[in-house]
Structure 1
Amino acid sequence: MCDTRARRLAPTIQEKLSIFENVLSVDALSGGGGVDLVSTLVSEANLGAVDMVQEGESGAGSESLIAPRRLPNPCLESPQRMDLHRELLFNQRIGKNVLNQKSELEKALSKHKEKQILNQMREQQHKDAPELERALTERARRLEQAEQTTEEVEPGTNPTLQEIRARLRHAAPPAHTPAASAH
C-alpha cells in the first residue's frame, strides 16, 4: 500500500531555515536527512529572470539602454520556501516556539540567575577558605592597591615623601575646622 521509494523524510524547520539562509554546506544538504534539496535549489536557480517588455517600444532605437528586468521573488518561486513560511506562521499563531529562541525577559532572567549562582559560589568558597588563605588574599589585594597608588604618583614628586604623607593622613585624627563644622 505504501510506496517506500517515493516516500522521503520531511526536513525539520531548522534545516529548512538553514537552507534559505545559506548556513549549511552543500555536503551537509546532500548527505543528511534523505531529502534532495540541493537538486531542487539548483534547478530553481537555473530558471532565470523574466524580461519585462515596455509598452510602446518595439526595441528599435533603444540599443544603448539597458532593458529592465523583473526581479525574482524567492518566496513565490520556491515551494519549499512557501511551505516553510506557512509552517512558521502556523506555529507562531498557536504559540509554539520551534526555533528555541528566548524572549528578552527570559534572557535577562537566565543571566540574572547565572550571576546569582556565581556570587553564591564565590561566597561559599570565601566561607570555606581557611583563615590563612583569607589573610593571604587580603594581603595580596592590599599590595595590588598599593601598586596602583604608586602608579598614580606624579613624576615630579618624591615617592617616599608621598608615602609618608599618606601614612600621616591616615594616622592623624581629622581636624575640626570652623568651615567644616558650620552646623
Structure 2
Amino acid sequence: MATDGHGGLIQPRKVPNPVRESQSHRELHRELLFSHSRGILPRHRAELPRVLESRRLRQLREELQGPPSDLEQQLRKCHQRLEEAAAGPDPGPRPEFLLVRDSLRKMKLAEPGAWQT
C-alpha cells in the first residue's frame, strides 16, 4: 500500500461553481478585463455611443429572432393603442355630473372638519 503522505485518505475535490464555468460568465469576465486594461469602462463612456450600441444590439436580436409571430404583432398593436390613448388629449368635454362629483370630492378633502357633525 502506497500512501501519499496523508495517511491513505482520499483528498476531497473542490466543488465546481456552475456560474464560473458557464461560457457567458467567462466571456463577460474576459470582456471586462479587456475593457479595464484599455481604460474603457462602460459607465465612463459617453451617452451617445452607449445608446447607439444598445440600438445595434436590439436590431441584431430582432434579426436573429426572425419575423414576429402573430401573437407578437397583436401585442405590439395593443401596446401602441394604449400608448396613444395615454398620450392623446381628452376625447371631449366631460359630463357635468362628473365635474360636480370631482368638485365635491375636492371640498371634502379640503375641509375635513366642515363635514363632521
TM-score (ref. length: structure 1): 0.26
The one of the two structures with greater contact order (alpha-carbon pairs below 8 A, sep at least 6) is: 1
> TM-score if structure 2 supplies the norm length?
0.35
* Rg (Cα) greater in structure: 1
